[in-house]
Structure 1
Amino acid sequence: MFFCYLGRLVEEGPTDEIFSNPRHPYTKLLLSSVPAIHEHEKHEKIEVKGEITSPLNPPSGCAFHKRCPFAFDRCMKETPDDTVIDSKHKVKCHLYS
C-alpha cells in the first residue's frame, strides 16, 4: 500500500503495518478520518490546519509542510528522501531521517 500527497509518494509498506503504525503525518491524518466500526476501535481525530497547497504551484521541500503540525525549517527547504522503517516500510519525512 502507498500514500501520496500532491502526486508525491509519502509512505509505502504492507497494508497491515501502515494501518497499525502510520508514520507520515499525512497518512496519520487520512487514517484518523476513517470512522470506527466498533466502540473499542475509536482513535484520535487529527484536526487539519494551515494553508491548502495548490497542485499547480507546489511548495519547495515537503509538499505537506504547509498543513503539517510537525513541520520545521528543513521541511520547507528540502524534499525528504526515503527513510526505511523496516525492510518493507518506507516514509519520506524529515521526522525520521
Structure 2
Amino acid sequence: MTDLTPAQNCADMTELRTQIDDLDQMLVELLAIRAGYIDRAVELKSQNGWPARIPARVEEVISNARAKAGQSGLDPDLIEGLWRQLVEWSIAREARVIHER
C-alpha cells in the first residue's frame, strides 16, 4: 500500500486529489481483503451448519464501527449506514454460497 502525505502537507488540489485517489485505492484493496475473510466465513459456517445471518454478530459489527467512528471524529450515523450496507452485501454473498452447498 502507498504511503500518504498528510492532508495538511498537500500544497495544491492536484496533490490533494492524488492522495484521495491513492486512499480510495487502498480502501478498495482493504475491502477486497475483507471479502476474502467473508469467503472463509462461508466455509466455516457451512461446516458448522450456521446461517449466513447471525443477528447478534451483525449488531456487534455495527456497534464496533460506530464506536471506532466516534473515536476517530467521524459521524457514527454515516459509518453505521455504510457498514450496514457492507454487512448486508457480505451476508448476501455468504447466503448465495451456503444455499448452493
TM-score of the alignment, normalized to the shorter chain, above 0.5? no
Larger Rg belongs to = 2
Name the structure with the higher helix share: 2
Name the structure with the higher strand share: 1
